[in-house]
Structure 1
Amino acid sequence: MDRDLRRHGRELLTVRQTSGARLAGRRQPLPFVACTLAAVVVGVSLVSMNADAFRSAGSFDLRAILLTLVRVDDPLSLFVVGIAVLLVCGWAERLMGGARTLLAYAVGGVVTSVAGLTVGAGESHLFPTVPLGEMPVTGASPLPALLVVAMAASCFAGALWRRRVRGVCLLLAVTMFLYSASASDLFALLALPVGLGLGMLAGGQRATMRVQRSSRHEVRVLLCALTAITAMGPIVATLWGSGAGLLSVYGWLSYDPIVVADGVVCVAGSALVPCPDAASFSEVQAHAGWIAVLPLLVLLVAAWGILRGQLAALGVAMAVNMLIYAGMSALFIVWEPDTLALLARVRGTDADGVWQTLVGFAVGAVVPLGVAVTLFLSRRAVSVAPTSKALRTFLTTVALAAAATVAVSFAGGLAAADHFSPRLTPETLWRDAPLRLLPPSLVPGEWVHAAPATPLAQALWYLPPLVFWLVCVAATVRLVMRPQSVRADEDRARVREMVQRGCGSLGFMATWPGNAYWFAPGADAGFAYRPHGGVAVTLGGAFGGDRGRPEIGAAFVEFCGDNGWTPVFYSVDDAAADALGGLGWQRTRVADEAILDPQTWTPAGKKRQDVRTATNRAQREGVLAQWVSWGTLALGDRVQIREISEGWVADKSVPEMGFTLGTVDEAADPAARLMLARDASGRIIAVTTWIPAFGAHGLCGYTLDVMRRRHDAMNGVVEFLVGAAVEQLRADGCTMLSLSGSPLAPNRVDDGEAPSAVDRLLETSSWLLEPAYGFRSLAAFKKKFQPDLRPLWMVYPDATHLPAVALALLRCYVPGLDVARAARLAARMRRSRRSSIARV
């Protein structure tokens, strides 16, 4: 056995030692088509900037269409487009090859141009009084062609990037079309189906109507993109002024109603301070409209917080969107077409049709409402709660800033009443002071009762809302960015220290987000638990140096009783279950933990043939094992790992689970480790993640958490990674490697007695979940290593609590689960089970 152990160790050690040199020597080939296209775009653009001949062809002329696909008229835009061509086409070339990339750019660009010219001509004839965008007069620019390439390449990408690329392209194209609606934006919108069709015709994955599931991390990415891009839309409208898009009405919100007509300060749309018929108009403060951008900056900060999973950021984003919805609804009711016409004269633009303006206000109110509703419905993916102190500080800061703004506006208005026209009265100030919380350009002229006629009055008009929204931006940044704002961070830091003084193989899971903590008074011990529906479910046994003391469990039971909870000790080992024996409670076997000793384990033997075969095949195919931490990985490696994980989640018929089942998010912990498998090209084809386990004398080993592989990875790649992990732990002097438990798949001892009610419940749950999660298949996989199987127990008061315990466990594994969602989940699992049986 020692000879086999040493030989197998040398094989895996050789594979790992050669990985660094081989990976360092790999170079990605230069994207030839991307570089060529970028050079053509730059060359043609530089020549065409000084050559009128390039602009002489007709709009439906093929030569003109081809030239517009590789021509940019502005030097700054040319720089941006050149970089975009290199990035987008370079990415597409790696996915679908140079020929398909060139075909998508050229053919897709021509098809998009013809479609856009046709749609523009038809729209001008069918809806002449309600323009929905600028009429295109020539072919598409390089940007719509790049959207075609990106959409086509997404058909060849994995689940992660396929969803991200399509989602971002759709949001960008729709946002630009609704807010700006230039001819290029129409082409960009049409480029999406054109690119998708070309990608499928070129051999990529066909689009499906089935909504693919996303991990909680990916849901946060998509929510962040939705919040950020919809926040950028009004900024685009502000830059474009009135614009031509259906939501170009947001551009009107950058128009200050306080104007100067032939030297007289007046208010556009006001009945008390009307503007006379004048030859010339100008704004009092030309840049006042940019104050309206500050609430959108709050949304951008909140988008970053949503990406980090912060509930406070989600709440801020929903609140701001609802405020925008309320404001747009009020403007839809209050604003009059005559006011818009006057503002158009001030800016020197033409007012759009009345119907387009009214429809734009209605749609402009629906968009933020839709975003707020989407954020609310997806709130389960955002679970990091703020501390009470941080939330209280944020709300207090905003409230004090609002009160100070109103007070300063009221007091300043009284002191400078004569500087307004007409003179301000206390009644008018009392009515108008709260309006100073709004950016000046968002105040309808119909609501303004006096115009600031002097510089002092103008300072009192513009500075208070500017300062208020700057404070709101700063308060949001503080709430979202400060680590101290996150609840349980201090407790988790304490837990991290305590688990290092003693915990079970699952004890490090106590440091994961989503847990609540109880610390034993006067002892170095504690429990991580999750309360659901009056049941407090612990995550494993106690942790800390005193975790084995019998009175610790009794003290936790007393704590739960004081809070009206029924305690349940879940996934506890024999030692922890025995320590709870004094309670006199019932216990049932819920899983079997597979344990290996790295110092003695060997792949020898017939039953471990699969492990030896996987190692030999890895050597033949050049597959390398790499033991790393998340922080040392390059950005590209992290993206590959996310992509592998998202592909796994997308294939499941049920949501991604948590509690004792980790995700890639937990692998980012500095104490966790990853064992990666790279193929001969350096691509990551499989990943396993490992969490540390601590004994009385410190780190004693690692526990397997996540296993993910690409669909085209070699057979046995995960077995190869587990074998490599054994060798790594042996070299590090560790004495324990846990393959973790197999939930809902315990080896029930046949003692001749009929199974209990909880055993039958576990059996049914295992049967339903098997097609979706394969718990029994997972248990069979772990048996390949011939581990020492140790039972994990659930200790509970008595059988009368089992229905509530079962629902609480479901809510632990599937956060946010309610009765209705549980029924739908059970129905999906039954359908998945029936389809699995039918395939067999």
Structure 2
Amino acid sequence: MTQTRVARPPLSRRTIARLVQVAGLLDVLSTLAPHRRGHMSALMEFVPAFGVLSARAGTVVVGLLLIYLGAGLRRGKRRAWQVAVGLSALAVALHLLKGLDYYAAGVSAVLFVMLLATQDRFTALADRANRWRALQAFVGFAAAGFALGFVEIGIRVNHLVGTPGVAQWAEQAALGLVGVHGPLEFRHRFGGDIVAYTTGACGLLAVGVALVVLLRPGSRRPERGEEGEARLRELLERYGKADSLSYFATRADKSLMWSGNRAAVVAYRVVNGVSLAAGDPIGPESAWPEAIGAWLADAQAHGWTPAVLGCGNAAGKAYRKVGLDVVELGDEAIVDTATFSLNGRPMRGVRQAVNRMRRAGYTCRVVRQRDLGEAELAEAIRAADAFRDGPVERGFSMALSRLGDPRDGDCLLVLCHDESGTLRGLLQFVPWGADGLSLDLMRGDRSADNGLTELMVVTVLEEAPALGVRRVSLNFAVLRSVFARAEELGAGPVLRLWSRLLRIASRLWQIESLYRSNAKYLPSWSPRYLCFPTARDLPRIAVAAMRAEAFLPEPRLRRAPRRKPAEVTV
């Protein structure tokens, strides 16, 4: 299979998108420019004043929508091209109706021809579910505008000329949605203008919102299948030791993209038009390029932005070979259990916290999930829910977001009880190959004594050698190197400023506290990377990553109809 290289959109496509956005900006600005009196007087002989105002408002909406379409055109979305063609043709008519603006109409006509001539560059598939959502939005806003206009006419019925019937009221409200004057005549112009502006605004809003919804980035509902799940776990048994995040590919919200012979797989999720892979591909490194190529080809076919969150060094090199940029995202704390000890001055704080908890009667039990009884497991699940900070289960790249699943029998739990036998805290570690553990879940009762987390972590590190575990991955520290280098002698002003900014951000996202909580166990630090096509995609990728990790709420939309399975073999 030929390896797909997605780096950046073709220059011609980027240029077309920029030109469409510039044309949209000119459309908006053209409504602010003064019009020639001769043109307006000639136009007013054929078009009423209300029609001219509607055309001016429509031109602004068309311009704003063309600016909005730039991102979709840049990603090669076919639907964005279709809408841009329609809007550019409409803009020609609107420029003429709003004041015989031949120059602006000519620009729109050139744009229309250019889009028709380059249609072969826009082939990315659209999300079918958006069509129904767009139709619902259009009908909803249009119906609201019609109802408001009808009610306003009823309120002003005494100001109407003659005695028109209800059918003419409805005709007036319906025509007002498209900016056309209806059959009713008002004794006072103000009343008629209010009805016209209300219905016209709702009509423009219906069209604008419907197009925005229609062009929303697509998504994909994960459908893994039993065969794919079994093959994934087979790969984890053979190659799971290569990456501490590999077991998190079993999350139900991740899709699977396989190489042709199913020797390797990329686990990913589509969020807000970003195809977000997490960790390294699973399988032998020789099969990675084919799986990566299939994933990139799928993203390109749908116009999604490919990105990789938290991959290791080897995978970062593989992604860089296909054209993605790679930057360091942070470091993963890994403790060697054979050399871990509470002795020594650097471990004084942890040692004191652990000894204090043990003197208070706290004890920890380290056990595989499969060895827990049903009652004990149910108690652990209830405690995890009770100790959770907030109603949302956070995690995507480095969290399993489930507890007690029968398929996770190899997961290791640390259960901490106080002197009365009450469960006060728990940790869950997922397998990292045959001799490693990766921290997944950390929950504790906030009313427990200080040092609960230290006791649980130290207990599993001390008992790890007896369990055949020689390495334990703790939390991930975002941009750890910034904090570490800022504390070194001779750190420059830029680095210190960057460190201060991260400390401010830590008030919301605990960036520094995670680094400090990991560093006290004296781990080795393994860098993790972010891979992306271009720097301009970083804001969208950041929003998608925060939504996937549940730090930002996801919009609640009606469940989409079934699509073809997301588990794909290429």
TM-score w.r.t. length of structure 2:
0.52
Query: Of the candidates 444, 469, 472, which is equivalent to residue 737 of structure 1?
Result: 472
Say yes or no: does 1:658 pair with 2:428. Answer: no
Q: Report what 1:723 is aligned to.
A: 458
**2-structure distance, mates of 1:684, 1:703:** 22
Superposition deviation, residue 385 in structure 1: 7.2
Q: Report what 1:808 is aligned to.
A: 544
Larger Rg: 1
Give yes or no for contact 2:370–2:410 (8 Å, CA) kept in 1.
no
Q: 1:819 to 1:513 in 2, by over 3 A?
A: closer
Q: Report what 2:413 is aligned to.
A: 674
**1-structure distance, mates of 2:325, 2:235:** 28
Q: Secondary structure at the match of 1:500?
A: helix
Give yes or no for contact 1:590–1:746 (8 Å, CA) kept in 2.
no
Q: Report what 1:223 is aligned to.
A: none
Q: Report what 1:789 is aligned to.
A: 525
Superposition deviation, residue 733 in structure 1: 2.8
Q: Report what 1:499 is aligned to.
A: 236
**Residue deviations 1:149-174 (CA, integer Å, cap 9, x gap):** xxxxxxxxxxxxxxxxxxxxxxxxxx
Query: Of the candidates 509, 513, 516, which is equivalent to residue 777 of structure 1?
Result: 513
**Residue deviations 1:12-47 (CA, integer Å, cap 9, x gap):** xxxxxxxxxxxxxxxxxxxxxxxxxxxxxxxxxxxx
Q: 1:521 to 1:385 in 2, by over 3 A?
A: closer
**Residue deviations 1:295-354 (CA, integer Å, cap 9, x gap):** xxxxxxxxxxxxxxxxxxxxxxxxxxxxxxxxxxxxxxxxxxxxxxxxxxxxxxxxxxxx
Q: Secondary structure at the match of 2:464?
A: helix
Q: Report what 2:432 is aligned to.
A: 693
Q: Secondary structure at the match of 1:502?
A: helix
**2-structure distance, mates of 1:744, 1:645:** 29
**Residue deviations 1:523-542 (CA, integer Å, cap 9, x gap):** 62111000122211111111
Query: Of the candidates 512, 524, 535, which is equivalent to residue 251 of structure 2?
Result: 512
Q: Secondary structure at the match of 1:776?
A: helix
The number of equivalent residue pairs is: 329
Q: 1:656 to 1:547 in 2, by over 3 A?
A: farther
Superposition deviation, residue 623 in structure 1: 2.1
Letter matched to residue 786 of structure 1: L
Runs of 4+ in structure 1 deviating by more than 6 angstroms, as ranges, are 384-387, 750-755, 762-766
Q: 1:666 to 1:638 in 2, by over 3 A?
A: closer
**2-structure distance, mates of 1:728, 1:593:** 21
Q: Report what 2:91 is aligned to.
A: none
Q: How does 1:172-571 map onto structure 2 within 5 Å?
A: 488-503=225-240, 504-522=243-261, 524-546=263-285, 549-550=288-289, 552-571=291-310
**2-structure distance, mates of 1:518, 1:664:** 21
Superposition deviation, residue 508 in structure 1: 0.4
**2-structure distance, mates of 1:648, 1:743:** 24
Superposition deviation, residue 491 in structure 1: 2.0
Give yes or no for contact 1:642–1:664 (8 Å, CA) kept in 2.
no
**2-structure distance, mates of 1:745, 1:820:** 34
Q: Secondary structure at the match of 1:602?
A: coil
Give yes or no for contact 1:517–1:527 (8 Å, CA) kept in 2.
yes
Q: 1:819 to 1:745 in 2, by over 3 A?
A: farther
Give yes or no for contact 1:702–1:736 (8 Å, CA) kept in 2.
yes
Q: 1:640 to 1:624 in 2, by over 3 A?
A: same
**2-structure distance, mates of 1:547, 1:788:** 28
Q: Secondary structure at the match of 1:580?
A: helix
**2-structure distance, mates of 1:494, 1:549:** 16
Query: Of the candidates 433, 440, 449, which is equivalent to residue 705 of structure 1?
Result: 440
**1-structure distance, mates of 2:269, 2:401:** 21
Letter matched to residue 777 of structure 1: S
Letter matched to residue 498 of structure 1: L
**2-structure distance, mates of 1:517, 1:538:** 10
Q: Report what 1:484 is aligned to.
A: none
Superposition deviation, residue 559 in structure 1: 3.4
Give yes or no for contact 1:667–1:673 (8 Å, CA) kept in 2.
no
The one of the two structures with greater contact order (alpha-carbon pairs below 8 A, sep at least 6) is 2
Say yes or no: does 1:597 pair with 2:339. Answer: no
Give yes or no for contact 2:429–2:441 (8 Å, CA) kept in 1.
yes
Letter matched to residue 507 of structure 1: S
Letter matched to residue 534 of structure 2: D
Q: Report what 2:51 is aligned to.
A: none
Superposition deviation, residue 776 in structure 1: 2.4
**2-structure distance, mates of 1:663, 1:723:** 22
Give yes or no for contact 1:529–1:539 (8 Å, CA) kept in 2.
yes
Give yes or no for contact 1:667–1:674 (8 Å, CA) kept in 2.
no
Superposition deviation, residue 689 in structure 1: 0.6
Q: 1:507 to 1:628 in 2, by over 3 A?
A: same
**2-structure distance, mates of 1:641, 1:631:** 13
TM-score w.r.t. length of structure 1:
0.36
**2-structure distance, mates of 1:688, 1:747:** 28
Superposition deviation, residue 490 in structure 1: 3.2
Letter matched to residue 334 of structure 2: I
Superposition deviation, residue 514 in structure 1: 0.4
Letter matched to residue 493 of structure 1: A
Q: 1:602 to 1:643 in 2, by over 3 A?
A: same
**2-structure distance, mates of 1:667, 1:779:** 29
Q: 1:566 to 1:547 in 2, by over 3 A?
A: farther
Superposition deviation, residue 795 in structure 1: 0.9
Q: 1:511 to 1:672 in 2, by over 3 A?
A: same
Superposition deviation, residue 703 in structure 1: 0.7
Letter matched to residue 326 of structure 2: R
**Residue deviations 1:179-200 (CA, integer Å, cap 9, x gap):** xxxxxxxxxxxxxxxxxxxxxx
Letter matched to residue 343 of structure 2: A
Q: 1:746 to 1:515 in 2, by over 3 A?
A: farther
**2-structure distance, mates of 1:539, 1:806:** 14
Superposition deviation, residue 724 in structure 1: 1.4
Letter matched to residue 366 of structure 2: W
- RMSD between aligned residues: 3.4
**Residue deviations 1:681-738 (CA, integer Å, cap 9, x gap):** 22211111101112xxxx1200111111112322212111111111222113322111
Give yes or no for contact 2:392–2:550 (8 Å, CA) kept in 1.
yes
Superposition deviation, residue 678 in structure 1: 1.6
Q: 1:763 to 1:519 in 2, by over 3 A?
A: farther
Of residues 532-541 and 546-555 in structure 1, the stretch that sits farther from structure 2 once superposed is 546-555
**Residue deviations 1:765-811 (CA, integer Å, cap 9, x gap):** 9845x445534212211111011111111011110211221222122
Superposition deviation, residue 554 in structure 1: 3.9
Q: How does 1:633-648 map onto structure 2 within 5 Å?
A: 633-648=372-387
Letter matched to residue 627 of structure 1: V
Q: Report what 1:587 is aligned to.
A: 326
**1-structure distance, mates of 2:222, 2:472:** 36
Superposition deviation, residue 517 in structure 1: 0.4
Q: Which structure is higher in helix share?
A: 1
Q: Report what 1:49 is aligned to.
A: none
**2-structure distance, mates of 1:746, 1:559:** 34
Give yes or no for contact 1:610–1:719 (8 Å, CA) kept in 2.
no
Q: What is the aligned-residue identity percentage? A: 27
Q: How does 1:738-753 map onto structure 2 within 5 Å?
A: 738-743=473-478, 747=482
Give yes or no for contact 1:530–1:538 (8 Å, CA) kept in 2.
yes
Q: 1:636 to 1:692 in 2, by over 3 A?
A: same
Q: Report what 2:27 is aligned to.
A: none
**2-structure distance, mates of 1:500, 1:740:** 23
Q: How does 1:70-109 map onto structure 2 within 5 Å?
A: none
